[in-house]
Amino acid sequence: MSALRWFSSTIAAVAVLGVGGCLSVDPFEPSADATATADADAVVVVDTVEPDTADAACVPQCTGLACGPDGCGGTCGVCDAHDTCSAGRCQPSLGDRCAAPIVIAPTALPFFASGSTAAREVHADLPSTTVCDASATADAIVGRASPDQVYAFTPTVTAVYEIRLSAEFDAVLSLRDRCDEALAACVAAASAPELDDVVVATLDAGTPYWIVVDGYGDDVVAAGAYALSVSAPCVPSCGEARCGDDGCGGSCGACEASLVCHPTSQLCVPPYDVAGNTCAAPLPIDALPFVARGDTRYASDDAVATGDACDIASSELGAGSPDHVYLLVAPTAAIYRVEVDGDFVIAVYRRSECDGSSACLAVASDYGHASLDLWLEEQETAWLAVDGAGASVVDRGPYTLTVSSPCLPACGGAECGPDGCGGSCGDCGAGSACDGQGVCRAPVEVPGNLCENPFAFDAAPAQVRGDTTLRTNDYAAPAGACAGLDAAVGAGSPDAAVRFVADHAGRYLVALHATFDSALYVVGDCGAVAGSCVGGDDHLGVGTERVTFDADENETLYVIVDGYDNGDGAGVSGLFTVTVEEVQADPSP
């Protein structure tokens, strides 16, 4: 029954009953007599004619549906946190599982995407591996406690592709030809702490591949923001070349043991035909500052540093890796800084002679970057070897060598602090700290060295700059003491303290930018870090640390700027900038 029909029928059934009788009333044209007849004792009777029930009730329509609206203002169900509702079905969020990867279209190359694994699902049954060959064992399996992101790519051209991952966390990049158990499906993998993870591989046209962005953490969560790129296809081109780069990051061939690859002709030649390949034909450093780019992939293994000569742990640093040799003749007596950057474990060392490993005088070795500060007298000769660290594992690749202009230390009367050439004017020793003016003082007398005499934020926003190199090691965060810190930090590194007093209740963000691998934590009591820490952060490598916390009006907290090293290394320190600002509190649920 329509609403109009129901309304008309209901009104037509109304009668006014007076004391003396019954009067019918036209509902649309009430008469004056009818109005006059009704008095205070009148009773109104309404015929209760009901509308059709089909017009009033709503029946939910959820047959065959697991989620989404039911047609009556309700829902047919709610999907799990990691799924989305599509056409009444709970579907995995794109990229969250192998069944629903983010598809990279071949026409979209070069491809770039950014995202975060922090809100993704942990798949313990889809771990990652750091090694992709027949010798890999279960020890290479990682990532079972970390969330991951899955991409799929089917190339249309058989070619070489570079896949690069830059992450704010300890990440693992793997390329698979099936999206299942890690070792069986792995085509290539990369995990380089503090550097980009890079996979370069030849992919076959028409073959589906899966790219998995995972965290390294196998028992603790490693997750966060990342950027992923896939290059355009590169087809190798060698022409007449018999060795060297094929233009796509691969090789045109290898030379026999007695020959090396000429970097220009890409032909196999005797080692002495290539400048820098032996001590007999070093590359000259003829002008300062000096910058050179080279590649040890096709060099011979001519130089080696022994532990006895260079005071290093490895008995034969670089004995299994190819190297290049440079010759520096000092134009004046001064300090010269030698730096090498590359995507492998680098060793750089100075030799006073060009024969035998016993001539090593100074050495530095690390992943990605190594540097030496050398004092050379006027016209003193130094052979500099750019090598890989591996004695049994080959470390080699493209590199950049930088040698600074001569630098003369400027200390004046300073007894401590930097000398202006990357060195120090002296150490204060145990029980004292350098005040930044070159004077050794009691630790409490140096501003920012202890919570008893801290740096201070005047208000929010505010900024403090400093240097932990000249300070004492007073604070550390034990494992489990601070939310946001996965492990203990700071027991082996000098630190600085900054006081913050909230002028009103609110939520605040502290951010730390440092030139070293830093750690940040916020405490209420510097003498009881474990019991008063309100939050911490330790970004992998050199990066920004952030801690968000709530503070009451006039509450005093201390921001500790520390190094990540927890006592099992030489300690890390350097320049820093720490800021505080008020941020919007999260909305109430």
Lowest mean pLDDT among 66-75, 173-182, 226-235: 173-182
Instruction: Look at residue 583 and tell me whether its pLDDT is greater than 70.
Output: yes
The set of residues, in sequence order, having a beta carbon less than 8 Å from that of 38 and lying 6+ positions away, is 16, 18
Q: How far, in Å, CA of 297 to CA of 342, rounded?
A: 12
What is the pLDDT, as a whole number, of residue 558? 98
Instruction: Look at residue 403 and tell me whether its pLDDT is greater than 50.
Output: yes
Domain 270-403, architecture per CATH:
Sandwich (2.60)
- 511, β-bridge pairs: 546, 579
Q: How far, in Å, CA of 358 to CA of 283, rounded?
A: 21
Per residue in 284-310, pLDDT (tens digit) is 999 999 999 998 887 888 777 665 566
Mean pLDDT, all residues of the chain:
82
What is the pLDDT, as a whole number, of residue 392? 67
What is the pLDDT, as a whole number, of residue 55? 52
Angle at 143 between CA 139 and CA 144, to 5 degrees: 90
Q: Quick one: what percent of the chain has pLDDT higher than 90?
A: 42
Instruction: Look at residue 7 and tell me whether its pLDDT is greater than 60.
Output: no
- Alpha helices by DSSP H, 413-472: none
Domain ranges of the chain: 3-45, 102-230, 270-403, 442-583
What is the pLDDT, as a whole number, of residue 447? 93
Q: Quick one: what percent of the chain has pLDDT higher than 70?
A: 83
Please give the torsion angle defined by the CA atoms of residues 114, 120, 126 and 128, in that order, rounded to the nearest 10 degrees: 40
What is the pLDDT, as a whole number, of residue 23? 40
Q: Could you give the 3-state DSSP secondary structure of residue 326? A: strand
Instruction: Look at residue 163 and tell me whether its pLDDT is greater than 90.
Output: yes
Instruction: Look at residue 317 and tell me whether its pLDDT is greater than 50.
Output: yes
Bond into 461 cis (ω within 30): yes
DSSP calls for 235-259: ----TT-SSSB-SSSSBS----TT-
**Cα 342–chain centre separation:** 19
Class of domain 442-583: mainly beta
Instruction: Look at residue 34 and tell me whether its pLDDT is greater than 60.
Output: no
What is the pLDDT, as a whole number, of residue 301? 81
Per residue in 436-449, pLDDT (tens digit) is 889 999 999 999 99
What is the pLDDT, as a whole number, of residue 308? 58
By CB atoms closer than 10 A (0-12, 13-18, 19+), residue 291 is exposed
Per residue in 46-61, pLDDT (tens digit) is 444 444 544 568 999 9
What is the pLDDT, as a whole number, of residue 2? 43
Q: How far, in Å, CA of 62 to CA of 210, rounded?
A: 36
The DSSP output letter for 271 is G
The DSSP output letter for 8 is H
What is the pLDDT, as a whole number, of residue 442? 94
Domains 270-403 and 442-583 share a fold: yes
Lowest mean pLDDT among 6-20, 252-266, 558-572: 6-20
Please give the model's pTM, rounded to 2 decimal places.
Answer: 0.58
Per residue in 515-526, pLDDT (tens digit) is 898 999 999 999
Q: Which among 267, 261, 159, 243 is positioned nearest to 206, based on CA atoms?
A: 159
What is the pLDDT, as a whole number, of residue 3? 43
- The C-alpha R_g of the chain, in whole angstroms, comes to 37
What is the pLDDT, as a whole number, of residue 271? 85
Rounded to an integer, the average pLDDT of 472-480 is 93
Sign of the alpha-carbon torsion through 425, 428, 429, 433: negative
Lowest mean pLDDT among 5-19, 63-77, 220-234: 5-19
Per residue in 326-359, pLDDT (tens digit) is 999 999 999 999 999 998 889 898 987 776 555 6
Instruction: Look at residue 368 and tell me whether its pLDDT is greater than 60.
Output: yes
Domain 102-230, architecture per CATH:
Sandwich (2.60)
